[in-house]
Amino acid sequence: MPELPEVEVVRLGLQQHVVGRTITGVDVLHARPVRRHAAGPADFAAQLIGRRILAANRRGKYLWLPLDNGDAILGHLGMSGQMLVQPAGAPAERHLRVRFALNSPQELRFVDQRMFGGLAISAGGAELPSEIAHIARDPMDPLFNETVFLTRLRKRTSGVKRLLLDQSLISGVGNIYADEALWLAGIHGDRPGNKLRRADAMTLLAGVRRVLAQALAQGGTSFDALYVNVNGERGYFDRLLEVYGRENEPCSRCDTPIVRAKFMNRSSYFCPTCQPRPRRRSS
């Protein structure tokens, strides 16, 4: 479940190991992850041969690699995507989808079990791919406009959890860190945005920033091992999590058992004492 901290860890790894390299070969092993490249897998590969990678950038949970012809490789890890830097001769991973040979002993591999993620070429997208122009800046971005965010948030009628997951409003937050931030702020995710006082909204934003920063600070080791664990078996964020995945465990603030609820076909975790449910909207 890569969210901002995990994607940023990947970006840093790409910056270190891939930027400056030239692509000498592309092997698309499964068409699905390049589905957003309309011209198809063969064209995807052909266009990239010989291109040099100039940088590794991120907007929200999207990554892009600007190329020396003004285009960019645009990527999203989805739920289970990994960017791995491996020795060229290393055995193929079970879910290896795309392999990039480089002018280097190492190659770049896109591995993705569930294939919600993918790669595409963004024409002229080196600066910022037009495909992700609608994605808001993330709250750690120096150019994130706090005032605009707070104002927009407090005009919306949806529950704040849904709003935190709206990447056009604020990017980088997923299901896990949304729950953590709401717990930090003591706000229930069902509270409508337009029912938040400005101080509540600011507390919530502070919670988002705090949990993202803490997770990022813990996140450096995964890519050093050339492996980003996105399947949750051994996530090193586990010990930081206060509510996510902790159903029936005592809240660290008040000992009330954490509750799990269904939300948007997925789970939400919260403390019913620290995060009281809003009064139900009369219909």
Partner DNA sequence: ACTACGTCCTGCTTGC
Partner DNA sequence: TGCAAGCAGGACGTAG
* Interface positions with DNA (CB under 7 A): 1, 3, 32, 35, 60-62, 76, 78-80, 94-95, 113-116, 131-132, 134, 152, 155-159, 162-163, 165, 167, 174-176, 193, 264-267
Closer Cβ to DNA, 149 or 223, answer by number: 149
Residues 179, 269 contacting (CB under 8 angstroms): yes
Q: Give least dist CB 15 to DNA, A.
A: 20
Q: Give least dist CB 250 to DNA, A.
A: 20
Report CA-CA distances (Å) from 181 to 73, 186, 218, 260, 269.
31, 8, 17, 16, 11
Q: Give least dist CB 249 to DNA, A.
A: 15
Closer Cβ to DNA, 223 or 263, answer by number: 263
Closer Cβ to DNA, 132 or 187, answer by number: 132
CA 152 – CA 163 distance, rounded (Å): 10
CA 95 – CA 131 distance, rounded (Å): 26
Q: Give least dist CB 113 to DNA, A.
A: 5
3-state secondary structure the chain: CCCHHHHHHHHHHHHHHCCCCEEEEEEECCCHHHCCCCCCHHHHHHHHCCCEECCCEEECCEEEEEECCCCEEEEECCCCEEEEEEECCCCCCCCEEEEEEECCCEEEEEEECCCCCEEEEECCCCCCCHHHCCCCCCCCCCCCCHHHHHHHHCCCCCEHHHHHCCCCCCCCCCHHHHHHHHHHHCCCCCCEHHHCCHHHHHHHHHHHHHHHHHHHHCCCHHHHCCCCCCCCCCCCCHHHCCCCCCCCCECCCCCCECEEEEECCEEEEECCCCCCCCCCCCC
User: Among 132, 198, 201, which Cα is nearest to 167's?
Assistant: 132
Q: Give least dist CB 61 to DNA, A.
A: 3
Closer Cβ to DNA, 32 or 52, answer by number: 32
Closer Cβ to DNA, 100 or 149, answer by number: 149
Closer Cβ to DNA, 197 or 266, answer by number: 266
Residues labelled catalytic: 2-3, 61, 266
Q: Give least dist CB 229 to DNA, A.
A: 13
